[in-house]
Each structure stands twice: as structure tokens, then as C-alpha cells.
Amino acid sequence: MTRTPLRFGKFASASALALALAAPLSLAPIFASPAHAFFGGFGRIVYDPRNHAENILSAARAMEQINNQITQLQNEAQMLINQASNLASLPYSALQTLQQNVDQTRQLLSQAQNIAFDVNQIDQIFQQDYANIPMAAPEAQLLADARSRWENTVGGLQDALRVQAGVVGNIDNQRAELSALVGQSQSAVGALQATQAGNQLLALQSQQIADLVAVTAANGRATALVEAERAAAAEQGRVQRERFLTPGAGYQPGNAQMFNN
């Protein structure tokens, strides 16, 4: 039988079309098996649509798995970014300003006049000027001791006022640091920055408490000196009254000369 060129052209066109449809499937490594095809009579290609559909479904499933893996990798990358943010340190520190405020208050307390905040010195001065007032002390000594106690009281009141003024002067710095730390806490990018901002806010609160303790101590010292002076004055008055009322040698007559001649 003689083959006409026209039939051969149709068969060639069908073969080319089948190969074009099967080419993408043969290039993908994710297919389980290529579409089955067999050559019929006269070299004609028979296409199996069922097998081709199964290959497309396998390719879709493989693509879905790849997409899931990509999503998982993206989630892991985001988790690493979040962990890095949580480990980022706070770029702001109020420690130096807080330490300066505390040092200023401590310096004011260390400048206490006459009687400092020292246990040994307090015991020594109270034993000397406040505790015992001897009956035989001369009037000049009693007067000098009373003036020393008055100076201690006035110095304590002045020291209390100076500490109060220093603490009030720290308020502006504390307000600025409070505003800065709250801003840093609200804009924190991770847990570590938020924690460090919170710790510095606690340090600021501790510094404010230290100022309150200093004011309380200075005021208490001034009040104690006032009461100690009052108690010593009462004791000195009692001693002088007893000395005045104690019977003496009485009147002793003597020679008196009223005129030169």
C-alpha cells in the first residue's frame, strides 16, 4: 500500500502535539512516572489522558509540599528575627544621672555640721555636752556648754534645709529621666529592652526613695538636736537652781569704806 504525504503530515502533526504536551511533564523531577503512550499502527501515538491527569495531580501535591516547606522556612526565619530582637540591648541608660543625684544627696549628708551622722561621734558629743552637767562647773563653763548645744541645734536645722533643697533640685532630673525611660519602654523592640527599661525605672524609684530617706534622716536629726538642747537646758536650769538654793557660809561682816577719807 502506498502512503500518501498528506496522511504522513497529519501523523507528524499529531506526534509533535503529543510530544509538546508531554514535554513539561518529562522535565519536572517530581513526577512519579511519565504519561504512558504507545505507537499504534503506522507510527500513530496513542495518548493516555488518565495517566496524564495522575501526573498533574502528583505535580500539584508536590508543589503544595514545596509551598509548605517554604512557609515553614519563612516562619523559622521570622522566629530567628524575633529571638534576635528579644536579645537586643536597650540603647539608653539613666545610671549615670541617677548616681550623680545620689552622690549629691550623700555629699549634703556628709557635710553635717558639728554632729555628723556617725555613731561614735554622737555618743562622744552627747556624753560631753548633753548627758552630765556637773554641779561644780563654773558659770562660764555652763554658758559655753549651752552655747555649744545651741550651735548644734541651729546647724542641724540648717543641714536639714540644705538636704531638702538638694532633693528638690533632683526632681527636674528625675522627671526628665522618667520621661525618657517610659519612652524607651514603650518603643522596646524585644523582651530584653523592655526588661532593662523596667529595671532602670525601678532604679529611678530607688533613687527617689533614697532622697526621701535622706530628708527624713536630716529632719529627724534636727528634731533630735532641738529636743536634746531642751532637755540639757532643763538640766542646767535645775543645777543652777540647786546651787542658788544650797545654803552657803552665810553673811560674813567685813570692813567697808565709803569715802576716801
**Domain housing 69:** 8-86
pLDDT, tens digit (0-9, with 9 covering 90-100), for 183-201? 998 888 888 888 999 999 9
Phi-psi region of 114 (alpha: psi -120 to 50; beta: other; left: phi over 0): left
Are both 68 and 101 inside the same structural domain?
no
Domain final residue, candidates 86, 108, 139: 86
Are both 218 and 137 inside the same structural domain?
yes
Give the count of alpha carbons within 13 A of 13, CB side only.
5
Q: What is the pLDDT of residue 12?
A: 42
Task: Indicate the pLDDT class of residue 7, thresholds 50, 70 and 90.
Answer: very low
- Considering Cα of 74, then 80, then 81, then 83, what sign does the dihedral take? positive
Are both 137 and 207 inside the same structural domain?
yes
- pTM for this model (two decimals): 0.62
| Residue 36 placed within a domain | yes
Position 104: which residue type? Q
Q: What is the pLDDT of residue 246?
A: 78
Q: What is the pLDDT of residue 78?
A: 84
pLDDT, tens digit (0-9, with 9 covering 90-100), for 199-223? 999 999 999 999 999 999 999 999 9
Higher pLDDT, 44 or 119: 119
Are both 76 and 134 inside the same structural domain?
no
Are both 77 and 100 inside the same structural domain?
no
Mean pLDDT rounded to a whole number for the chain: 80
Are both 228 and 99 inside the same structural domain?
yes
Are both 160 and 207 inside the same structural domain?
yes
Are both 36 and 140 inside the same structural domain?
no
* Domain count for the chain: 2
* Distance separating alpha carbons of residues 184 and 230, to the nearest angstrom: 53
DSSP letters, 133-166, are --TT--HHHHHHHHHHHHHHHHHHHHHHHHHHHH
**Percent of the chain topping pLDDT 70:** 78
Say if residues 46 and 37 touch (Cβ distance below 8 Å). Answer: yes
